[in-house]
Structure 1
């Protein structure tokens, strides 16, 4: 996920069948006086400090996942690092506040407002008198017009990833002065604030060649507090340096170096002193938290020896001092390696004491996706049964409570708590209810303990494409009640005694009447088993933990799951996007402009000219004409209250269709050097790059509530 002003719009969002009269949608929240949007569940955590306490100069070394293939956020291979660079070096007419709502960026805009609605919508931008590109040219109408032409979709020579909003513009012209830009729309567009953020110079947007290739490896002309000094893909670094033509508050830092560091290597890099700021996983966060405690360089529960019991240690000593010389030598070498690893770990812990964990919630949520294109989940009753089997609060607590973050389930597909469009519409589907889930499954024809025909087993692809046997590790987590009741609670398998449970010795496929509560649901000779696809990489442990809990919840209503672990590289491309799954976990960013950005995510799939199904970004393949219509109405009304109401109605119907089930807002954990201020877990807010820096010697950050997320200026 990106850091979030340019963010949600700069990264392409790459990740219902509602029968009329079947499900009544309740009255929407928001009709009363209380704003259903609420407040953000967690504030930013950035160690705020006023600028006069920050040293002048210094280099911030910031870990990123990769040096991107392009610095043009409007191309399909742009990524989160592309967005981060754009935020620091390019104009953005609007940025996100701490509640995830757009606010005018005063460094570039004096004002921006709709000045006409009849016969056409007209937005008048009044630019800052000081706003100039790094080559000295004023930012003006020519730049706006070049970006519109490039992104309008009319010229296919431009390799654009998206054109939403720009395709509604009729013309762009200079206003009464060089500082005014008039944008006239051919059709009303509610999300007009989403446009021109970021804004590229006409040098980039002016021709297809410059758009397609000119901004991939470098940005010659910029207009932010920083400029791009070097983007080195071989060394895995992007260096940003102060922009001498920046007219706003001068950047406190001399440089920002964005370094590619794999997530599982970041704790070691922090300890080595080669990083100052890095997004980390929960395990690394625990290490840093322990290291920061007074008189604590490590914990007996952590480190290389963490999993060894006292008995293990005693056994190791006995072998090392035993009569078997070969075994003793081998054990002695192993003990020396362990001691060296322990010494290294303790040294790293001492170094990590100079860091702290800054935590918030990302403007993104994790969802359970249900593929409605094939298999049992084509039946909306089965999808709704899956949803009603889930205890979403338990899942949120499992992930967020250990981190000390608010464990509140997400109530909307289209916004998060605090954002203008948010309302908890989960009541359109209903909460956890085992009996209701079982009733829905029965209504869909799934019978507990029904006969099951023996199916020819197919081996599933393992993490790197190898074939994993059904008894191997990849399918070790095949879930579902044991038909014969052979598994005891201690996990051991027992053979039934003579006179045991009826049906225990019956031929395969025969129901066991006395043990129906433990039997799998079946229909037409097939058991109700869903393929649950998960990534296998080291950073996916949280998803696998959540998946395991979901599988156990589904067991209780008779739904089995088969966990299929695949490589991170193929997870989305080969499984989610191609529809090769029944259940999957992945995240979506929350955007301030859901009428524009969320429509392709929930649009009803339609047949393409070649006979394939055009799903846009709706990887659950579940959509309705009614939801599409609500999105279209929301994006075309300039009444902000009415637009929010339409978005909330659309969300209620998305809930009712049960194609995807929002679970929890993603945790945001960053390790930051203790004297680094105005940087960390930004939450919804757009980072203010010119205010980042290191405290002067002896200076202290802001105290009290303002230390988390206030404007440092």
Structure 2
């Protein structure tokens, strides 16, 4: 499961950034772009959807699409809306400016004839002219009353509406009817560059007109819709959401008769594909590899299976098994026959599954989202920007990207921006503000921050335990010496001389050590205060190289660090060790592989790491959002509106009245007033080029702050029935649901209609 940044809590000043399919983890495009290049770079991995003209798509049939779970709400503006909410409402409700394949918002002619800024002074005014054919499923025309109701619900002025986002709506001063209800005139109190982000999706006034219908009425049903499909019903028990063609749809008629969204856990999707219960599913690399293997096995390979049950059987072992099964030892024969039968059944099941998987293609691209290394700058060593920059400049981002993408047949340069991806108009590689990979410079940054190899050990003038022992020995030595000199007892004299000699030797050794070293070196551990000084000194000496176990080096000998920390940097006797939190689920293997490589890279500059693996379900909420980590990996989406959507992710945290930090979605806790000001200026700048320049300046400062280090774009892998077209790995673009379908009509019992 990939992990995405998603909204939490009841924050009311931000747009939702939940992505569609998660797999992190929650999710197209990377091409190199120098810091000085202008304009967007080309999309490196275009969408892969098997495009076909509508005349090649058959009418009818049902398609079943896997989603993670039945959505908790169908209201996309509530806090618990998720990727499934967005996927489903995309087929049911108006989207005025959906994204195209290059990540740009484009006017949707099914709903709008035009939309443009008609006035800038004294206030910004946008005039929407709606498609005259656009109607809700009850026959009422889409018009100004729907815009007014949605604005009032999302403006933030009425707390009775439980909204998770209102960015942009709070800047609207008024909405007026134009010549008729098909003309909507929106006046802003403050300029808003991202006005195209508003009213998508657009809900009917029956939903947004009152707190009751907004808060509860749209959670499990939408009685009034306006898209190529309409909602038949939500069945949480069966885990399905069923859509049918909308008979009142005025655009191109949907090719599919019905569209079923079925809840299937990512780990269960290979089984669902082989059973024929889904036709389209976002999948993990392991499932993609299995589908590719099935295709190769179906290309004419004969003989014993190369994979699966029985693949390790050699001719010799097969002969021995046959001999045992037909031998005279009845007990051994029965056991061998049972084992052979079990293996044959497993081979038959595997063969049937592989045969079923041959009916699917893996369509792949890169998602409009990047995975980052997040460095928590709230406290500790990472609160120092020099330490964060040292980590960033140690990383080989290309190697990390290749770790995830190359095995999948994808390749891309690491992202150069936090706010846009290659191919989008706002993209510019701003990573030069941080600097290229440079291990030498990384060590220099650490040293400048006080973290040095010598700092991992600490010196003591004396330890309490050692001092008391030496004093005791000296006292015993002097007593023995006096007893020997007085001749009170021959044995006492003998013992006294020995004790005296020992005392003199210890004193001489101590003096000699002091003259040449001024104390003992003690290796610092992660919690130096947990040991008494004397215990720490003994532990360090006990690890002196070349000595027998338990042997002590002479007092004053420099104690080497254990091999695990010998080359670590440290400060005041404490090695620099960071807690690296990673998800533990089976779908998060790629994140863990990247994490292990990061650990190796940081080891080269002496930074230690402590990997903590936590359950997927608690990873984001209990660790990332709460700040319980030093380093972590999670993803953020690229949107068409970086000024609006990027600000809460990188906003400077503000102290709350209870002493905590209000971080919005800035889970690295790293920000600055200057970055906030650049975002504020960009979101109010109506000149597109000027706004992009401001965003590029903001991105350069985000790079320099080194709280977030983009590593790679996430792969997008989708298993699709081979006969389906216009569906798969969409990349940036929103699906055009009315064009999706099969290239030939599916008869009853065929893959599109089995076990629905």
Per the TM alignment, residue 560 of structure 1 is displaced from its structure 2 partner at its CA by 1.1
Cα distance in 2, alignment partners of residues 298 and 423 from structure 1: 54
1:538 aligns with 2:541: no
Match of 1:237 in 2: 240
Paired residue secondary structure (2:214): helix
SS state at 1:266 partner: helix
**What's 1:22 paired with?**
none
In 2, the alpha carbon distance for the partners of 1:311 and 1:622 equals 63
* Kept in 1: contact 2:451–2:571 (CA 8 A): yes
Greater helix share, structure number: 2
Mapped contact 1:46–1:358 kept (Cα < 8 A): yes
- Does residue 551 (structure 1) correspond to residue 556 (structure 2)? The answer is no
State how far apart, in whole Å, the 2-side matches of 1:216 and 1:657 are.
Answer: 41
Contact 1:504 1:512 in 2 (8 A): no
Q: Which segment drifts farther, 106-115 or 527-536?
A: 527-536
Q: Which residue of 1 aligns with 2:412?
A: 407
Give the conservation status (yes or no) of the 8 Å contact 1:388–1:430: yes
CA deviations 1:301-351 (Å, max 9, x no partner) are: 643467x69799799969989999999988876665454333222211111
Residue 220 of structure 2: aligned partner: 217
Say whether 1:416 aligns with 2:421: yes
Question: Alignment partner of 2:98: what SS?
Answer: strand
- 1:503-542 deviation per Cα after TM superposition (whole angstroms, max 9, x unaligned): 9979999653998995221212221111111111110011
What CA distance in whole angstroms lies between the structure 2 residues aligned with 1:404 and 1:348? 24
CA separation of 1:632 and 1:313: change in aligned 2, threshold 3 A: farther
Q: Distance in 1 between matches of 2:186 and 2:368?
A: 30
Equivalent runs, 1:629-668 vs 2, <5 Å: 629-668=677-716
CA shift for structure 1 position 696? 2.3
Aligned partners of 1:448 and 1:517 also within 8 Å: no
Within 5 A, what are the aligned runs for 1:469-488? Answer: none
Within the alignment, does 1:443 sit opposite 2:514 as a pair? no
Contact 1:12 1:161 in 2 (8 A): no
Q: In structure 2, do the counterparts of structure 1 residues 263 and 515 end up closer, same or farther at CA, with 3 Å as the change threshold?
A: closer
> Hey, what does 1:687 align to over in structure 2?
735
Q: 2:272 aligns with which of 269, 273, 278?
A: 269
Deviation at 1:407, TM superposition (A): 2.7
Task: Show structure 1 runs of 5+ residues with no match.
Answer: 16-27, 459-482, 485-494, 699-713
The answer to whether the Cα contact below 8 Å between 1:531 and 1:582 also exists between their aligned partners in 2 is: yes
CA 1:377/1:344 → structure 2, altered by over 3 Å: closer, same or farther? same
Give 2:95's aligned residue. 92
CA distance, structure 1, for counterparts of residue 337 and residue 142 of structure 2: 70
- Counterpart contact for 1:521–1:528, Cα < 8 Å: yes
1:453 aligned to which of 507, 524, 535: 524
Task: Assess if the C-alpha contact under 8 Å between 2:49 and 2:363 holds in 1.
Answer: yes
> What displacement does 1:559 show?
0.9
Equivalent-residue separation in structure 2 for 1:312 and 1:412 (angstroms): 58
- Shift in Å, 1:229: 0.6
Show the counterpart of 1:115: 118
Per-residue deviation, residues 556-589 of structure 1 (Å, max 9, x unmatched)? 1111111111011110111001111111111111
| Equivalent position SS for 2:664 | coil
1:295 aligns with 2:300: yes
Task: Work out whether residues 365 and 663 of structure 1, in 8 Å CA contact, stay in contact via their aligned partners in 2.
Answer: yes
Which of the numbers 362, 365, 369 marks the counterpart of 1:364?
369
TM-score between both structures, scaled by the size of structure 2 = 0.79
Question: Unaligned stretches of 5+ in structure 2?
Answer: 5-13, 25-32, 458-522, 530-538, 747-756
Shift of 1:85: 1.0
SS in 2 for 1:104: coil
Q: Secondary structure at the match of 1:666?
A: strand
Structure 1 residues 169-211: Cα deviation after superposition (integer angstroms, max 9, x where no partner): 0000111222110000000000000001100000000000110
For the pair 1:381 / 2:386, whether they are aligned, the reply is yes
CA distance, structure 2, for counterparts of residue 442 and residue 318 of structure 1 = 69
Residues 298 and 346 in structure 1, CA contact (< 8 A), matched pair in contact too? no
Return closer, same or farther for 1:187/1:510 CA change in 2, 3 Å cut-off: farther
Correspondent of 1:41 among 41, 44, 52: 44
> Distance between the aligned counterparts of 2:597 and 2:552, measured in 1?
28
State the TM-score, normalized to the length of structure 1: 0.84
Taking the aligned partners of 1:697 and 1:658, their CA distance within structure 2 comes to 54
Residue 107 of structure 1, CA deviation:
0.3
Q: Is the 8 A contact 1:237 1:260 kept in 2?
A: yes
